[in-house]
Every structure is written in C-alpha cells, then in structure tokens.
C-alpha cells in the first residue's frame, strides 16, 4: 500500500463542510478520486458504497417475459395489420387460451412458474380465471391506465399475502390492509410525508422521533423548509461490556416516546446501515408505549431488508392501527431498476380517525383540496388521499404505478410465496451469499464479528474507533481524532486503494464508522476490502508510533 499519510487530514479545515453533505452525494466525489487513483496503478475500482445488488431473481422475470409473448398473441388475435398494429386483449375465454398457451410452452421455465402463479391465485383466492388472466395480459401489454389507481386487484391480493409471510412472519393482524403501489421506496417516502402534511397530521414544528443510524433521506427530508419538523434522534447506542456495538436502542431513549408531544416515529427495520432488526425487547416497549401512553403516535416503518432476517416481524404486525409500512422489492429480487414498492396501511387506522377529528376549518380546507375528485371528502381514506396527492390531486385519474411494473411485482411476490412452499431454496441461497460476504469482510479485517440472530447483514457498519482502541489503546484514539477528521478514512480509502465506502456519520451513526455494502461485489472482493480497511487503520498507527 502506498504511504500517502501526512501529518494532517486530507480533509482540511476549508472542506469541513463536506461532513454535512449526504454520503450518497459525497460518494460521487469518492468515485472520481478512486478512478484518478486507478489511472496511476494496476488496481480496479471496488465500489462498496451503494446497496444495488449484483444478483437478480431469474424465475419471476422469465414468467414476466413469456407472459409478454402471450399478451402479444392476444392483441393480434383481436386484429392485426402487416404494418405492426394490433388490437387489445379481450376478457372472454382468455383463461382457456392462456391454459392452452401454458401447455404449448410446458418446457419453458417461465411458463412452468407462470402456471404455478395461476394455480396459486385460483386455489388460494378463488380468483375469476378470465378476470385474473385479463388483468395480467393488459398489465404486461400496458395498454391501459392503472385501474384502480392505488393498485391492481390481483396485484394487491398477491402482495398482501407476501407481506403477511415476509413482514409478519405468517402472523398478520386481523382484518384487511390496503396497499398503494409506488415507484420504489423513495417515492413512497415522499408520498407519505406530503400527505401527512397536506392533511395537517404533521405540521411544521411537530416533534418526530427518528431511530438512528438511518437511511440518510429520513434525516434530510424532515429538515426541508417545507416540513421543518422538530426531530429527536433515538440512537442505537447499546454496546457490549467490551465496547462492541449491538446496534440496538437504549430503554431510556425509547421511553421518551411516552411523551404525547411526539406525533410520529420513523424507523428503518432492519436498520440501514447497521442492518439489524429491532430486538424483541424494544419492539415490546414500543407496543407498550403506544397501547398505554401515546395511542395516537404515528409510526412510519421502512422494512425493505425484512427478508434477510429469519422470523422477521414488522411493527405493522404488532401495531397495525398506528403504522404506515413501506416495503420495496428492489433488494431481495435484484430489482432496483424496476422501482417496485408498496405502502401498506390497515383499514382500521388512526390516520383516518385523526382526519375525522380535525377542526371544521381544516376540514373545509381539505374539502377544497380534494373536492374536485369526490364530494364526500370527509369519508376519503388517508391512503386514497396519498394516491391523489401523488398526482397533485388534479390528475388523480391517471395516478398509479405503471401496469408492467405491477405485473412484475406480482410475480416477485408469488415467487417468494411459492418458494416458501417448495423448501425456501432461493432464500437459503440468498442468505448464504450475504453471510459469506460478511464473514469474509470481517475476518479479512481481523476484527471480531459477534453472532447475532437479529443481523440482516445486507450492510456492515464498522466503527473504526472501537477497533483502534482495542488494538492500539486510548492514547492512539485521542491522537487520531485530534489530527484527522472522520472523512479522512473514506477519502484515503478512495485515493490509496480505489475503494469506495460511505461515511457512517452521514447516517447519524458513529462519526468514525464506515458503511460497506455486502450486496454488490464478489466474496473475493470483500477479502480485498477487509485488508484495505485494516491497512488504513494500521497506517494511522504507524504514523502515531513514529511521532
């Protein structure tokens, strides 16, 4: 490794504001530095900064593409010209033609899985065969606006089953939940915050709890001038007796939520970047707080990494009345480019209750806002208001996630449901890949990774000060923090090793921590990454010893 270590930080005083920049924006600077470094060496760029996976789920995509073939045949069946024009799918007897198509393509992997999806919907939900196949066919062709705008009928049924299995550990709350299909989890975040504010459920200055470390937009959005919430951070501060992070929350901090001035709590579960599920004890504390102390507290939980923890149970399962749940299909299925996500909200919920209790003046303002799309605005549900707000109300009639996206989402959901029935092979392989990468990274650093059943392991947050003190003592830590800034580590990794990682402080984690994604590189790459991280730490120690 090149010895570029100087007496002072690479991030000098004039650049201290870099610590305030989102790590996702800082990443672009780090990539540029890494590329410049590569030009001078024979190294290759290793970008462990983004959570974009380097895998895809093939089977649901194969089903998607062969369904497209059937959809084209159905359109041509209606009418077709040599110039490439065709009609649109017709519902009458479409299921019979679909079954014939499946038989003719019985050797195709996609057709085999497509038939399993078809049988699942018929057997589990008594779906009308023609209606189901017509929804799939129109969806794959994309010749219509989304109807209903919130989510397609059978997409909602399939995804609702998926959420019950993956987010509720097969134990969903009684009653039905409504889903709103969105353009990825980030769109879901925007829609939720917008509609909460437009409907006076969260207003400027309202107190909001934010469980940290957390995905950076959850830190940044509430700070925008439009929202200006009073955000109180609940840090994952618990540590072992020998000062290793557990990435769980202290009871005294969680108990702050008993104060009814807290209007909402925002949680990413499992967390990002630490990648740990809420412990059973903390989950029970939150449930008790809501049930006994703060019954109107709104909970926003982002559960995108749920599938990486066995037996995961979301707060949406325990506190369905209070919880808005975001789930994205992007990570587990290797589908960040599909922009597939849903917002889930139980039909019996406090959001609708609070809307009914708004002062008359506020209700009048909302009547004017939504009055162009329905006369009985007071009876309009919160989730339907989100749909309208997603299109500035005026173009509510064209709201909704595109139909091809919804069909692919359907097959993602059904793939997991069917995989579970057939032995969970896909999940087991996925967990094995993630676990091997994580273990390789930590063993290559020479650090100790504690066993923990709550760990998802999609990312790893590494607090370098913990290991600096363990290997070299408190005097070294004091010297290091006095002479260098936390960002120095990520800049040095980029310039000296062509490795891109994100600074944990940008996620409101420990300032000297770094986030490594386990999703987008090979197992061997994580050996290299681990060695580089340890070399950087040791190089600081070498400089300290040679003072």
209 pLDDT above the threshold of 90: yes
Question: What pLDDT sits at residue 271?
Answer: 97
Chain centroid to CA 463? 23
Cα separation, 118 vs 96, in Å, equals 12
**Element of type H or E holding 269:** none
Q: Please choose, from the candidates 50, 23, 6, 33, the residue with its C-alpha nearest in 3D space to the C-alpha of residue 516.
A: 50
Question: What pLDDT sits at residue 41?
Answer: 59
Contacts of 176 (CB under 8 A, 6+ apart): 160, 346, 347
Report pLDDT digits (tens) over 509-542.
999 999 999 999 999 999 999 999 999 999 999 9
Taking residues 423-436, what's their average pLDDT? 97
* φ, ψ at 29 (rounded to 5°): -65, -40
Mean pLDDT of the chain: 93
Got the DSSP string for 168-228? STT-PPSS-EEEEEEEHHHHHHHHHHHHHHHTTSS-TT-EEEEEES--THHHHGGGSTTT-
Question: What pLDDT sits at residue 29?
Answer: 72
**What's the whole-model pTM score?**
0.93
Task: Tally the C-alpha atoms within 13 A of residue 78's C-alpha that lie toward its C-beta.
Answer: 15
Report pLDDT digits (tens) over 58-73.
999 999 999 999 999 9
Contacts of 404 (CB under 8 A, 6+ apart): 139, 140, 142
Question: What pLDDT sits at residue 50?
Answer: 84
Burial class (CB in 10 A: 0-12, 13-18, 19+), 250: middle
Model confidence at 219, pLDDT cuts 50, 70, 90, reads very high
Question: What pLDDT sits at residue 540?
Answer: 96
467 pLDDT above the threshold of 90: yes
77 pLDDT above the threshold of 60: yes
Question: What pLDDT sits at residue 17?
Answer: 59
8 pLDDT above the threshold of 90: no
Percent of the chain with pLDDT over 70: 94
Beta bridge mates, 234: 211
Peptide bond just before 148 cis, omega within 30 deg: yes
Question: What pLDDT sits at residue 46?
Answer: 87
Rg (CA), the chain: 25
Q: How far is CA 501 from CA 9, 144, 244, 488, 541, in A?
A: 18, 43, 21, 12, 21
Question: What pLDDT sits at residue 16?
Answer: 54
Burial class (CB in 10 A: 0-12, 13-18, 19+), 489: buried
Cα separation, 192 vs 396, in Å, equals 16
Taking residues 268-273, what's their average pLDDT? 97
86 pLDDT above the threshold of 90: yes
Domains of the chain: 13-51+425-545 (3.90.1150.10), 58-144 (1.10.20.110), 153-400 (3.40.640.10)
Percent of the chain with pLDDT over 90: 89
Taking residues 423-433, what's their average pLDDT? 96
Question: What pLDDT sits at residue 13?
Answer: 40
356 pLDDT above the threshold of 60: yes
Taking residues 330-348, what's their average pLDDT? 97
Question: What pLDDT sits at residue 281?
Answer: 97
Q: Please choose, from the candidates 339, 325, 312, 336, the residue with its C-alpha nearest in 3D space to the C-alpha of residue 268.
A: 325
Return the residue matching tokens 């950076």.
216
Q: Please choose, from the candidates 517, 454, 512, the residue with its C-alpha nearest in 3D space to the C-alpha of residue 248.
A: 454
Model confidence at 282, pLDDT cuts 50, 70, 90, reads very high
Question: What pLDDT sits at residue 4?
Answer: 42
Cβ(465)–Cβ(481) below 8 Å: yes
40 pLDDT above the threshold of 90: no
């Amino acid at each position: 490794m090149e010895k570029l270590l100087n007496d002072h930080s690479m991030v000098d005083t004039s650049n201290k504001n870099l610590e305030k920049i989102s790590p996702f924006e800082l990443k672009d600077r780090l990539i540029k530095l890494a590329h410049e470094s590569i030009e001078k060496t024979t190294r290759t760029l290793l970008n462990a900064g983004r959570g974009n996976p380097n895998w895809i789920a093939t089977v649901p995509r194969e089903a998607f593409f062969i369904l497209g073939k059937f959809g084209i045949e159905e359109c041509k069946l209606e009418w077709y010209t040599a110039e490439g024009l065709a009609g649109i799918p017709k519902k009458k007897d479409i299921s019979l033609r679909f079954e014939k198509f499946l038989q003719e393509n019985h050797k195709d992997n996609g057709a085999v899985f497509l038939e399993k999806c078809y049988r699942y919907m018929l057997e589990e939900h008594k779906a009308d065969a023609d209606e189901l196949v017509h929804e799939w066919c129109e969806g794959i062709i994309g010749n219509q606006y989304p109807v209903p705008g919130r989510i397609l009928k059978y997409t909602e049924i399939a995804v609702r089953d998926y959420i019950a299995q993956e987010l509720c550990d097969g134990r969903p709350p009684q009653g039905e939940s409504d889903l709103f299909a969105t353009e990825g989890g980030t769109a879901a975040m925007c829609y939720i915050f917008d509609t909460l504010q437009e409907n006076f459920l969260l207003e400027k200055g309202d107190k909001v709890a934010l469980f940290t470390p957390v995905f950076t937009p959850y830190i940044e959005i509430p700070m925008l001038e439009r929202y200006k919430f009073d955000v109180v951070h609940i840090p994952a501060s618990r540590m072992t007796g020998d000062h290793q992070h557990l990435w769980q929350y202290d009871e005294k901090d969680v108990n702050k939520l008993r104060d009814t001035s807290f209007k909402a709590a925002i949680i990413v579960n499992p967390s990002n970047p630490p990648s740990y599920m809420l412990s059973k004890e903390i989950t029970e504390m939150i449930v008790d707080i809501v049930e006994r102390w703060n019954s109107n507290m709104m909970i926003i939980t982002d559960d995108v990494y749920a599938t990486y923890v066995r037996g995961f149970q979301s707060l949406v399962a325990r506190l369905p009345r209070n919880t808005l749940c975001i789930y994205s299909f992007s990570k587990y299925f290797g589908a960040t480019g599909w922009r597939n996500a849903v917002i889930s909200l139980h039909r019996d919920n406090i959001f609708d209750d609070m809307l009914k209790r708004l002062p008359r003046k506020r209700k009048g303002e909302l009547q004017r806002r939504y009055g162009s799309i329905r006369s009985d605005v007071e009876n309009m549900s919160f989730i339907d208001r989100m749909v309208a707000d997603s299109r500035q109300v005026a173009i509510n009639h064209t709201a909704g996630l595109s139909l091809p996206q919804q069909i692919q989402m359907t097959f993602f959901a059904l793939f997991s449901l069917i995989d579970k029935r057939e032995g969970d092979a896909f999940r087991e392989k996925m967990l094995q890949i993630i676990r091997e990468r994580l273990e390789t990274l930590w063993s290559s650093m020479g650090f100790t990774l504690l066993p923990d059943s709550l760990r998802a392991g999609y990312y790893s947050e590494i607090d370098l000060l913990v290991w600096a003190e363990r290997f070299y003592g408190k005097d070294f830590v004091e010297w290091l923090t006095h002479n260098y800034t936390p960002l120095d580590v990520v800049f040095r990794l980029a310039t000296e090793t062509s490795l891109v990682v994100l600074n944990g402080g940008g996620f409101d984690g420990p300032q000297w921590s770094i986030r490594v994604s386990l999703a987008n590189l090979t197992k061997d790459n994580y050996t290299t990454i681990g060695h580089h991280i340890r070399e950087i730490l040791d190089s600081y120690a070498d400089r300290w010893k040679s003072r």
